[in-house]
Chain A
Amino acid sequence: MDILDILISASFWTAAIRIASPLIFAALGELICERAGVLNLGIEGIMVVGAFAGWLTVYLGGGLWFGVAVAMLSGMAFGLLHATLTVPFGLSQHVVGLGITLLATSLTYYCYRLALPSVTSPPKIEAFQPYEVPFLSDIPLIGEAVFSQTPLTYLAFVLAVVVSITLYRTPLGLAVRAAGENPAAVAAQGLSVTGIRMGAVMVGSGLMAVGGAFLTMSAFNSFFFEMVNGRGWICIALVVFGSWKPGKTLLGAVLFAAFDALQIRVQQTPLGADIPYQIFLMAPYILSILALVIMSRRAQVPAALMVPFNKGER
């Protein structure tokens, strides 16, 4: 009965949508990279960079949206590094991606210490505030859950639509999908596979960084170590779960977030008193593994994912 009460409470759904937002940004970013044929394992580190860059900009007096832009640009810079190594040089996407994650994470912590040498507790910033959409926020339950979020959350959902339209309804999206399926088809049409892939990785990395920035600018309002906490890896799984489709990936993100929000609340019920809390912490991950096993059987992997393309090679 307790769990049912939770499921129909507006605060639960508010939390679920909020938790889903950074995942949506980053998963869409990963989806764009993979649709073009590049697995970007730099995602975890790039989220850390975004979280820090956005937060620092605001902390130093910049505007909130300016902070988002800085986060995106810093993510794109790491995307450029990743793309340069994996696309024209054709290096292993696994090795480069993990390398980028390690580099980005360590560099961020280093910069944090440089910027704030003597701070012990992380300073707060004036973050994005919830914006109640006129009229829509008056709808019972849904209004409170969906239409009383921060602007970045709205942006995440709008972005899913934009990515979907771009991929399926524009010549650009066609070229990106073809680059991930059969790069020779792109080259035969006189387009640059290198250009398309590098562009996709940079844009994708920019979105990952915005996902990271959401954490500092719209959720926790400050930056601390380990705050990304594996969300990047979850996004890699979400893309598979979503079968490389933006809509399904968004759905997966909300589902995972709902599990996460649920377990926190169940911990506080009488049930939570009997069961060690670690079990609850584990639950969303176990459920996502199960969901992944079921969903990925039908997933359509881009055929040229992780296959470097070298022009003129036979």
Chain B
Amino acid sequence: MTNHKEAQVVLRLDNITKRFGSLTANDAISFDLAQGEVIALLGENGAGKTTLMNILFGHYTADEGRVEVFGQALPPGNPRAALAAGVGMVHQHFTLADNMTVLENIVLGTAPLWKLGFGKAAARRRILALVQDYGLQVDPDAQVGSLTVGERQRVEILKALYRDARILILDEPTAVLTPQETDDLFATMRKAVALGLSVIFISHKLHEVTAISNRVVVLRHGKLVAEARTADTDKHILAQMMVGEEVAPPSVRAANPGDVLIALDQVSTPDRGSAPGLKSVNLNLRAGQIIGLAGVSGNGQAALADLIGGLIAPASGSLRIHDAAPKSWTPRAALAAGIARIPEDRHKTGTIADFDLTENAVLELYTKPPFSTKGWMHWQAARDFTQTVIEGYDVRCPGPDTRIRLLSGGNMQKLILGRVLETTPEVVLANQPVRGLDIGALTYVHEQLLAARDRGAAVLLISEDLDEVTALSDVIHVISEGRLSPGFERGALSTTELGVWMAGHGFEEEGGSHAA
């Protein structure tokens, strides 16, 4: 079995198929992992990467196919057997108990349950040795609840290494890390490979894939569509393989600005904890225009989004809709004024996880006909509307009766986008509309926002990604410490000049107290 000329195959996936209801998440997937190799598993959200890894690790049972580790078939649906065979998995959502220490989390399940005591001293020695060998700095006696996300991830990796994992599976490990932490993680991965481990690295960030992997396996719609040595590809080819078509940035047509729909004049809102409120902000949202808000996270974006969405009212200054002051400013009033929201956090405020797609689609519309009249719901109308959104916005799902929890982030966002745009709102408040989305979904969302602009909507685009703001916006405002810069026309300022504003310079003449 062992071929000494080539590296030994440590893991073989053979014809894995998994269905959830009518959705085929994995369709006859086969590939090998060699010793000392890093394979990048690439694919859009919902392509089936996580499902495949959960089958490999025994969390799910495959409908067909088999998994071989070091030449031995793994019994299906048995994480214990996978662990014993040397497979270690770092989940996207950490599986740690917050009320226990790092050491306790790591040794959990390693000693027989009926043993007295769990050999703390020996465990601590071993953990500290691993910390040293792999450069995973973390205090074994710290309470997990008090750790940062990056530290928690290191605990997860330590957990796998403590159990002598020979194959490490990292499920989108970089999604939660800062660039610096990502570099540290890559250093750890290189050390692991040098020590003879093999790694499967799941990601949809192309530059990371090209930086760390030896080989790339691409999944699309549950099928394995391409397999290549990383050296033989580049980002552009990979992006094409992932989405299955040429990826082009959206072509931006010239804007055709109309009337001012929302006008803020010297508006201030109270500070919220460490996040600043707005400080004497002037802003005009015009029909047929995308207004981009650039700025470092936590500089008052949330306050502005809440103000436009009706969650908070101005403490001073005036807010005018269609040149008239609203009587009271509430979320309901904002909806009535034709403002539709794409919320920043689709899980927390955008959807209700255990409601089905239909219920989520009418979440902001259910009080109005045709969805309800005289206090009665009309579910057929709601279901028809949902079907329209599913078809019109390419929401991949088993059907309108699926619980939204089962959808991938991208498909969830498409449903929200559809429910917002189908009602042809006058104002679209798009707060981080593509956060966590893959290229295909991202491009789609951007095209839809441009289309909304072209039919005459005012779009307020809030994003921490400066490239996104500059690519889409007709007018850019920079927000810093709650102060808003004047509007700059598309292309008026370079990225560097915008960066200067983002750092808080240039606001002096506004009379701000935080002048640098």
Choice from B79, B91, B114 contacting A172 with Cβ under 8 Å: B114
In the bound complex, do residue A185 and residue B97 qualify as a contact, i.e. CB atoms below 8 Å apart? yes
Kindly supply a per-residue 1/0 record for chain A positions 186-226, scoring 1 wherever the CB is within 8 Å of any chain B CB and 0 otherwise. Answer: 11111100000000000000000000000000000000000
With both beta carbons as reference points, the residue of chain A lying nearest to B115 in the complex is identified as A171
In the bound complex, do residue A312 and residue B59 qualify as a contact, i.e. CB atoms below 8 Å apart? yes
Describe A's contact surface by its main secondary structure: helix
Query: Distance in Å from the Cβ of B187 to the closest Cβ of chain A?
Result: 25
Kindly supply a per-residue 1/0 record for chain B positions 81-109, scoring 1 wherever the CB is within 8 Å of any chain A CB and 0 otherwise. Answer: 11110000101010111111000110111
Q: Tell me, yes or no, whether A79 is within 8 Å of chain B by CB.
A: no
Question: Taking A169-B118, A185-B97 as contacts, is the C-beta distance between A175 and B80 under 8 angstroms?
Answer: no
In the bound complex, do residue B95 and residue A185 qualify as a contact, i.e. CB atoms below 8 Å apart? yes
For B99, the chain A residues whose CB sits under 8 A away are 177, 181, 300, 302-303
CA of A181 to CA of B101, assembled, Å: 12
Query: Distance in Å from the Cβ of B464 to the closest Cβ of chain A?
Result: 28
CA of A174 to CA of B110, assembled, Å: 11
Q: Tell me, yes or no, whether B505 is within 8 Å of chain A by CB.
A: no
Q: Tell me, yes or no, whether A113 is within 8 Å of chain B by CB.
A: no
In the bound complex, do residue A181 and residue B97 qualify as a contact, i.e. CB atoms below 8 Å apart? yes
Q: Could you tell me how many residues of chain A have their Cβ less than 8 Å away from some Cβ of chain B?
A: 24
Choice from B58, B81, B95, B117 contacting A169 with Cβ under 8 Å: B117
Add 18 more A-B contacts to A172-B113, A187-B79 (CB < 8 A). A169-B116, A171-B112, A171-B113, A171-B118, A174-B100, A174-B107, A178-B97, A182-B95, A182-B97, A186-B109, A188-B79, A188-B91, A188-B95, A190-B80, A190-B84, A191-B109, A303-B97, A312-B59
With both beta carbons as reference points, the residue of chain B lying nearest to A187 in the complex is identified as B79
Kindly supply a per-residue 1/0 record for chain A positions 146-189, scoring 1 wherever the CB is within 8 Å of any chain B CB and 0 otherwise. Answer: 00000000000000000000000111101101100110111111
Q: Tell me, yes or no, whether B61 is within 8 Å of chain A by CB.
A: yes
For B60, the chain A residues whose CB sits under 8 A away are 312
Question: Taking A185-B97, A190-B79, A190-B82 as contacts, is the C-beta distance between A175 and B108 under 8 angstroms?
Answer: yes
Query: Distance in Å from the Cβ of A285 to the closest Cβ of chain B?
Result: 30
With both beta carbons as reference points, the residue of chain A lying nearest to B111 in the complex is identified as A171
Most buried by A among B104, B105, B113: B113
CA of A181 to CA of B80, assembled, Å: 20
Query: Distance in Å from the Cβ of B58 to the closest Cβ of chain A?
Result: 8
Kindly supply a per-residue 1/0 record for chain A positions 276-314, scoring 1 wherever the CB is within 8 Å of any chain B CB and 0 otherwise. Answer: 000000000000000000000000101100000001101
In the bound complex, do residue B109 and residue A170 qualify as a contact, i.e. CB atoms below 8 Å apart? no
With both beta carbons as reference points, the residue of chain A lying nearest to B99 in the complex is identified as A181
CA of A170 to CA of B114, assembled, Å: 8
In the bound complex, do residue B108 and residue A185 qualify as a contact, i.e. CB atoms below 8 Å apart? yes
CA of A222 to CA of B117, assembled, Å: 41
Choice from A181, A191, A311 contacting B59 with Cβ under 8 Å: A311
CA of A312 to CA of B79, assembled, Å: 11
Query: Distance in Å from the Cβ of A300 to the closest Cβ of chain B?
Result: 6
With both beta carbons as reference points, the residue of chain A lying nearest to B406 in the complex is identified as A314
CA of A171 to CA of B112, assembled, Å: 7
17 CB-based A-B contacts, threshold 8 Å: A169-B116, A170-B116, A171-B110, A171-B118, A174-B104, A174-B118, A177-B100, A185-B105, A186-B109, A188-B59, A189-B108, A189-B110, A190-B58, A190-B109, A302-B99, A303-B97, A312-B61
